[in-house]
Amino acid sequence: MIIFENVEYTYPNGFKALSSINLEIKDGELVALMGENGAGKTTLLKHLNGLLKPSSGRVIVNGVDTRHATVASLSRDVGIVFQNAEDMFFSPTVWEEISFALHNFGYQEEVIKKRVGWALKFMELEDYRDKSPFLLSGGEKKRLALAIVLAWSPKIVALDEPTVGQDVLQKEKMIQIIRQANQQGKTIIISSHDVEFIADLQPRIILMSKGKIIKDGYAEEVLTDLSLLKECRLIPPQMVSLTYELGFLGIKPHLGQPEDIALEIIRRLR
């Protein structure tokens, strides 16, 4: 369970990034944080493992008040994949990068080998195991950052803009990874501007603007509210835009597969 109680956060330069945040995320939920640049999404994510502490209010993660816990202790249960993957790198090789946290958490060498090997294969990075992380492409760096976190299997996985630098096939792979991790009982929290990606996942959506939560609902409800999306400077998913244009047929805006919408059009034209 993750609980935000009246959380406010102001950066040292005086910018108030979070205001009156009250939020509960249950174990095993799939949640997306959405909103314009500067809405407070990344700031909220950084409160999960204590990288940032509330200016007022409190954040409770698995019963622990983050104000009184270290980043190291919180990170065992909370893994964050940053938008800029390079922020997570400092080891000379991909293999050492993934194994570093496992060594710190005290895993046995045999377990480390198995977990690193699994992560490399799962994220399709086996050919780069002895390469410098800084020489990877943007998409490969993003996958390495996720591999680092998945290798130690935290209960909560937070992803900041996971589709940046990913092509269509890698986005599909990312969806599979997220769904699989969620089905295994992990709580997944995603910060993203990619409405098509989020529409495919259909998670619970926390819509943010100017440091506040302005809507909390599921994808079908939030992503079909065109005025709300416009307020948050988000482009509606293609299927929502299409069904909106088909309103003259009596079709309401909704998320759906192209074939389902085609069948709906045929039924109404008969």
Mean pLDDT computed over 228-250: 85
pLDDT mean across residues, the chain = 91
| Cα 94 to Cα 140: distance, rounded to the nearest angstrom | 11
| Cα 77 to Cα 63: distance, rounded to the nearest angstrom | 12
**Residue 245: pLDDT over 90:** no
Show the tokens assigned to 137: 């492409």
Check: CB of residue 207 under 8 Å from CB of residue 222. yes
Tens digits of per-residue pLDDT, 78-122? 999 998 888 889 999 999 999 999 998 889 999 999 999 999 998
Instruction: Please write down the HEC assignment for all residues of 170-192.
Output: HHHHHHHHHHHHHHCCCEEEEEC
- CA distances, 105 to each of 63, 81, 143, 152, 237 (Å): 20, 18, 21, 8, 41
Strands 56-61 and 64-65: antiparallel
Could you write out the DSSP letters of every residue in 87-156?
GG--SSSHHHHHHHHHHHTT--HHHHHHHHHHHHHHTT-GGGTTS-GGGS-HHHHHHHHHHHHHHH--SE
Q: Name the CA dihedral angle for 89, 163, 60, 234, rounded to a multiple of 10 degrees.
A: 140
- Supply angle C-alpha 68, 71, 72, rounded to 5: 115
Q: Which domains does the chain have, with CATH numbers?
A: 1-77+154-228 (3.40.50.300), 92-152 (no CATH), 237-270 (no CATH)
Note the pLDDT of residue 6.
97
Show the tokens assigned to 235: 């482009």
Tens digits of per-residue pLDDT, 156-181? 999 999 988 788 888 888 899 899 89
Tens digits of per-residue pLDDT, 167-219? 888 888 889 989 989 998 999 999 998 999 999 999 999 999 999 999 999 99
Residue 29 binned pLDDT confidence (cut-offs 50, 70, 90): very high
Strands 78-81 and 156-160: parallel
